[in-house]
Amino acid sequence: MTDSITAAEFTAAEGTGDWRVLRRSALARFATGSFTRGVRLVTRIGALADAANHHPDVDLRYGSVTVRTWSHDVGGLSARDVALAREISMAARELDVAAEPARVSEVALCIDATAGPQVQAFWQALLGHDAHPDHADDAAAARLSDPDGRLPSVWFQQSDERREQRNRIHVDVWVPYDQAEQRVAAALAAGGRLVTDEFAPAWWVVADVEGNEACVSTWKTA
């Protein structure tokens, strides 16, 4: 028996309006306005997490606190994340701290590789990242992640041949599903071009004026 839930189920759950799903986790950003208020919120989050025996990642900055919750044992979101998210949002409201769901995002570097294992080994040694399977049913697919969760993850896309006409390293920008079109529009307004929206709303491919590509991604598939 598992309490695993989908991104759609988390989003539809009551009390999760402050949160946005990015890939396999849910994030919330709270505008504390001061370091002292941020410490108070983090203290409350710590107590809630200990009581639930479910511990999120918390990033304390001078004017904000960002929280990421996901369930390691299911490799994604669970009902425990919904419960914890509700409690954290309630604590923030009690401290008069507003959520900023539109401001959460996640960045990953993606590398096209014909010799995936050798390329991955190089980047793992260079960055000091840990290797993790990308999919539970595909041990060959892997990503590298910063053990402290500060630096972008690195993903490897298997390529059958080198495509010299395009860059082989690009950026994936994960944004809330309700912010993706605005982010794409902002990139185009800033001089970029749309490469394809064939896979939207899962992702759009955009490029700068020199052809350097990036993907704007969400959890949605339709």
Residue by residue, pLDDT tens for the chain (222 residues) are 479 999 999 999 999 999 999 989 999 999 999 999 999 999 999 999 999 999 999 999 999 999 999 999 998 999 999 999 999 999 999 999 999 999 999 999 999 888 778 888 999 999 999 987 654 444 445 789 999 888 899 988 877 776 666 678 999 999 999 999 999 999 999 999 999 999 999 999 999 999 999 999 999 987
Task: Give, in degrees to the nearest 5, the angle at Cα 149 between 185 and 203.
Answer: 25
Handedness of CA 67, 70, 76, 77 (dihedral sign): negative
5 touches 77 (CB < 8 A): yes
pTM listed for this prediction: 0.88
Distances from the Cα of 221 to the Cα of 8, 79, 129, 217, angstroms: 10, 22, 29, 10
139 touches 126 (CB < 8 A): no
Token pair for residue 159? 């390529």
